Amino acid sequence: MSLNDWMEYTVTEKDIGMSVEQIVRQKLSVSGRMLQRLTRSKGIMLNRKPPFLQRQVKPGDTVAIRVGEPPSEKLAATKQQLRHDTPREKGLEQTSSPEHATSQAHALPVAILYEDDHLLIASKPAGMMVHPVKEEQAGTLVDVLADLLAQRGESASVHPVHRLDKDTSGAILLAKNSYGHQLADRLLREGGIHREYVAVVDGQLAAESGTIAAPIGKDPNHPTRRRVADGGDAAVTHYEVMQRSPYMTMVRVWLETGRTHQIRVHFAHIGHPLAGDILYGGARGLLRRQALHAVSLTFNHPLTGEQIRCEAPMPADMRRLIQAEFSWHVL
């Protein structure tokens, strides 16, 4: 088996009395759902052999879990990629061999802000979808990153941990395999990922800081729009004013929840839609999209405990708007 696709743990004296399942759950941080998937796909090994999960381990035993994709899922992912456009059409220069992929970072339409064996933080440009919603769609963030990983000889499976709207730019966390996805998804559900945004809203906000707590549900009169609605999902948005002009306010925003269009819906609800956001009543001006940029992601790594913080550079269209409206230079 390829060592790149497996994670191993060597049993110590302190682990005496534990079962294979307990080692997998407690020492290798595998969720119950992933444990079931690994069991079905023979993705758990004890000393390189499929084990009985309740078997007790002894010091020196090696327990391994598959962190790459099972062969059947790799094949499905490969077939999916073959149906998509070529790497050149999706922003990657074609190469004749995988070792050239690392020299192609400049050719990516996204910047990679952080990467390890399991997780990746990218800076998504505005106008790019995170993942396909129809089979024939290509050129999404997931497509581009899967191509890069495949050219390196890594698993071609990329899993978004959270979402950004198509026309929202900035930092987004993705997993490079199912193991990384379940680790990061647990972190997200437990509130361990801090996401900050910069937004420009129409009008003058009355307070220097505030919290918008209002439930969000689907708008029955529009296929994609959301609205504040009784019975919707709880949603909490915090903000702090950064700059003001006679006509607009720039704010730093951070979330307690991650509902679809949450920032856009909440500011429209209090009468200050995002600049450029015509779906929610924002005025079109210098920006041809909503003025929203995911500026940073911070979390403690689920395996090492190390604090990871990444900042996504402000894109050119947001910089132009901020400079013109607030006479404030953004790097």
DSSP-assigned letters across all residues of 113-137: EEE-SSEEEEEEPTT--SS-SSTT-
Per-residue pLDDT tens, the chain, 331 aa: give them: 445 678 888 999 999 999 999 998 888 888 888 888 888 888 899 999 999 999 999 999 999 988 876 655 544 444 344 344 333 333 333 333 334 333 344 456 789 999 998 999 999 999 999 987 776 667 889 989 988 888 888 766 789 999 999 999 999 999 998 888 989 999 998 999 999 999 999 999 999 999 999 999 999 999 999 999 999 999 999 999 999 999 999 999 999 998 999 999 999 999 999 999 999 999 887 788 999 999 999 999 988 889 999 999 999 999 999 999 998 766 5
Q: Looking at residue 108, what is its pLDDT?
A: 63
Rounded to the nearest 5°, which phi and psi values hold at 196?
-120, 145
**Domains 3-66 and 73-184 alike in fold:** no
Are 310 and 113 contacting, i.e. CB atoms less than 8 angstroms apart? yes
What's the DSSP call for residue 274? B
Provide, for the chain, the percentages of residues in helix, strand and coil under a 3-state DSSP scheme, each rounded to the nearest 5: 30, 25, 45
- Which amino acid makes up residue 207? A
Q: In the numeric block, which tokens belong to residue 318?
A: 């947001």
Residues 6+ apart with CB under 8 A from 307: 298, 299, 300, 301
Task: Output the CA–CA distances (angstroms, integers) from residue 267 to 105, 228, 262, in the order listed.
Answer: 36, 11, 9
Pick 3-66's CATH classification: 3.30.365.10, 3.40.50.620, 3.20.20.80, 3.10.290.10.
Answer: 3.10.290.10
Q: Looking at residue 105, what is its pLDDT?
A: 40
Are 139 and 128 contacting, i.e. CB atoms less than 8 angstroms apart? yes
Task: Read off the pLDDT of residues 5-46 as tens digits, 9 standing for 90 and up.
Answer: 788 889 999 999 999 999 988 888 888 888 888 888 888 999
**Residue extents of the structural domains in the chain:** 3-66, 73-184, 191-326
- Residue carrying structure tokens 């379940």: 182
Domain 191-326: CATH class, spelled out: alpha beta
Q: Looking at residue 200, what is its pLDDT?
A: 96
Q: Looking at residue 206, what is its pLDDT?
A: 92
Question: What CA–CA distance (Å, rounded) separates 297 from 305?
Answer: 15
What stretches of the chain show up as alpha helix (H) in DSSP? 20-22, 32-40, 71-83, 141-152, 178-189, 262-269, 316-326
Question: What CA–CA distance (Å, rounded) separates 279 from 282?
Answer: 7
Task: Output the CA–CA distances (angstroms, integers) from residue 254 to 53, 198, 209, 251, 310, in the order listed.
Answer: 42, 9, 11, 10, 15
Task: Please give the angle made by the CA atoms of 143, 147 and 149, to the nearest 5 degrees.
Answer: 120
Show which residues are catalytic: 165
Domain 73-184: CATH class, spelled out: alpha beta
Q: Looking at residue 3, what is its pLDDT?
A: 53
Pairing of strands 44-46, 193-202: unpaired
Rounded to the nearest 5°, which phi and psi values hold at 324?
-70, -40
pTM of the model: 0.78
